[in-house]
A = this chain, B = another copy of it.
């Protein structure tokens, strides 16, 4: 064992030669980088942390890990919810927080070139100064980083209008497992040259390479003031039909969220905005553009036709801000274990009902909020802070997840798989699909050093 330890120390000295003080060995300094925001538990003591400042740093770190067979976890801001960025025992952590520069904004072509550690909300701010915006908007936009958004193909509230993160990525620079640097994609809207490697890396959760630069697509900021609308429903079916009618109609919303009564009650008590708790569910959303008011009115008319009992339009977005901050509100009330399933939009009402039945069966409180326009739901289950309580809540999540699959849905809409949802993978993917993932992983990372044992 002493021989092995000495070899390891010599190897680390090699890496220090390449990285200098950007290689951190102090366990106390490393610890905060070994966690994410999920309920995953640390897997031991990482060996070292790389505070990468350049593509060359990442390349040196990966080439070293590849040579020595050291597992690597990759970290942006650590806001992930599925354990994907947790450190490994004896592993290397590559942090991209220092690679946080916006390298350029090309207004005419509506593209930005960014390093992975740029905070998503700060990129959006910089674009808005130029009349453009960055469409992806995960709820953690003020904290999370663009690189993490791309690595997990993050979603958010605006996906009903602008798609997911992958729809906003034009090109990537990626450091491969062996340290080589790959450039994918193009600066053009259309590009059919070889396989779509950009999309392969988007959402690959650190298992195929480390993103060190991204060319992202921007959109022009719509003119006028956004309108926020709300519609309360006594019955879930009515709300569900309203959602289907809205997304299939000509007045397209920028945001369309559906909350069950428990969610509204909890969010309202945490951030009072004057909402009345509905008997069934509440739709809230936003329209933008010069015709934002007219579109909001058409959407409210659809809601009224489907039986909405209380509706309103406002130019304040307090309601949506409250919705964005629903997680702390739920946590404060003991609802802590959440999931991220998705169903086809027309099955939303059936899904909400099914979740209610599951909650009754398990005798647990479960709140549900949905990015209704794209069918993505976050159900949060109450759980005491002990292992037995969490295990009981996990059983509820399992039932909810299987229900989503039975409705033609998905086990993850926007959070990814990481380690937390890995046991669910075979519920959705058959043996052939799992084998394809493995074939690609083995081809690109033959020594299995990149985020091993997660995501696929």
A250-B222, A344-B111 are contacts. A374–B188 as well, Cβ < 8 Å? yes
Closest B residue to A411 by beta carbon equals B193
A108-B345, A187-B344, A443-B442 are contacts. A223–B250 as well, Cβ < 8 Å? yes
Can you add 6 more A-B contacts, CB < 8 Å, to A164-B189, A166-B196, A195-B200? Answer: A184-B433, A186-B410, A188-B410, A192-B203, A195-B204, A443-B443
**Cα of A290 to Cα of B298 in the assembled complex, Å:** 13
Residues of B within 8 A of A412 (CB): 191-193
| Size of the chain A interface, CB-CB below 8 angstroms | 87
Chain A 322-365: CB-based contact to B (< 8 A → 1; otherwise 0): 00000000000000000000111110000000000000000000
**A interface residues (Cβ-Cβ under 8 A, vs B):** 106-111, 131, 152-153, 155, 159-160, 163-164, 166-167, 176, 180-184, 186-197, 199-200, 202-204, 208, 220, 222-223, 244, 247-250, 289-291, 342-346, 371, 373-376, 408-417, 425, 428-430, 432-434, 436-437, 439-440, 442-444, 455-456
Interchain CB contact (< 8 A) of A188 among B109, B343, B440: B343
Closest B residue to A198 by beta carbon equals B199
Copies assembled: 2
Interchain CB contact (< 8 A) of A159 among B152, B190, B410: B190
Interchain CB contact (< 8 A) of A410 among B193, B204, B248: B193
A167-B167, A182-B436, A432-B176 are contacts. A110–B248 as well, Cβ < 8 Å? yes
The reply to whether A289 and B250 contact each other, CB–CB distance below 8 Å, is: yes
The reply to whether B192 and A376 contact each other, CB–CB distance below 8 Å, is: no
Interchain CB contact (< 8 A) of A374 among B190, B195, B436: B190
Q: Tell me what chain A mostly uses at the interface: helix, strand, loop, or mixed.
A: loop
The reply to whether B159 and A189 contact each other, CB–CB distance below 8 Å, is: yes
> Which 10 A-B residue pairs are closest in the complex by CB-CB distance?
A108-B346, A199-B199, A190-B413, A189-B374, A443-B443, A188-B342, A109-B344, A439-B443, A191-B410, A186-B410
Which interface residue of A167, A190, A437, A443 has the most chain B CB atoms within 10 A?
A190
Closest B residue to A223 by beta carbon equals B250
The reply to whether B190 and A410 contact each other, CB–CB distance below 8 Å, is: yes
Which interface residue of A164, A194, A411 has the most chain B CB atoms within 10 A?
A194
**Cα of A208 to Cα of B200 in the assembled complex, Å:** 14
A109-B346, A194-B455, A196-B166 are contacts. A375–B189 as well, Cβ < 8 Å? yes
Residues of B within 8 A of A289 (CB): 250
Residues of B within 8 A of A429 (CB): 193-194
